[in-house]
Amino acid sequence: MENNTLGTDLTPASPYYINTTVDYIFNDWDDAIGDANVFASFDPNWCGDIEAQNSLFDSGWVNTYALYGNGTMIYNGFDIDYLGAATVPGTEDINAFAKIWLLELQLPWWEDYDLPCSRKTIVVGGEILTTTTLQMLVPYILILVSAIAATAGILYKKKTP
């Protein structure tokens, strides 16, 4: 977690404090993180706020932001199934997840925010497609290559005299 006005896990006395420890006994953060969508970008303007590993063992950014003009764009990839209207923002469990959403909504405009962008989300030399995903795509790629080869063979078949 990058410590900023979107949350900090360093100082419990801070109004931005969020306990990012996952407690699997109560399954509180487990669903929000387990079903999270990770963020990958080649754009150097996106900054990482919170990293996590979902249930597919994909590790990456689940909360990011980019400064744009006088505003801020925020990506929140957490699953919101267990976040209800009655969930009170707090520092732990699913309440901490609600607090993340609240801090996003309360983020000040223009120069009043504290977003240092100390951790870039840019993928440099990495792979967005995991090995597992590529293995699942191999049969489809082979079918596509075969179809292209067959079509090319039909279209460019030379007639013999």
Q: How many CB atoms lie within 10 A of CB 98?
A: 20
Residue 117 has phi, psi (to 5 degrees) of 50, 50
Digits of tens for pLDDT over the chain (161 positions)?
899 999 988 889 999 998 887 655 555 567 788 888 998 888 889 999 998 888 888 888 999 999 888 889 999 999 888 888 888 998 887 888 899 999 999 998 766 778 999 988 887 554 555 555 556 677 878 888 888 887 877 776 655 55
Work out the burial of residue 74: count CB atoms within 10 Å of its CB; fewer than 13 is exposed, 13-18 middle, 19 or more buried: middle
What integer pLDDT is reported at residue 132 of this predicted model?
58
Q: How many Å apart are CA 83 and CA 7, to the nearest integer?
A: 18
What integer pLDDT is reported at residue 42 of this predicted model?
82
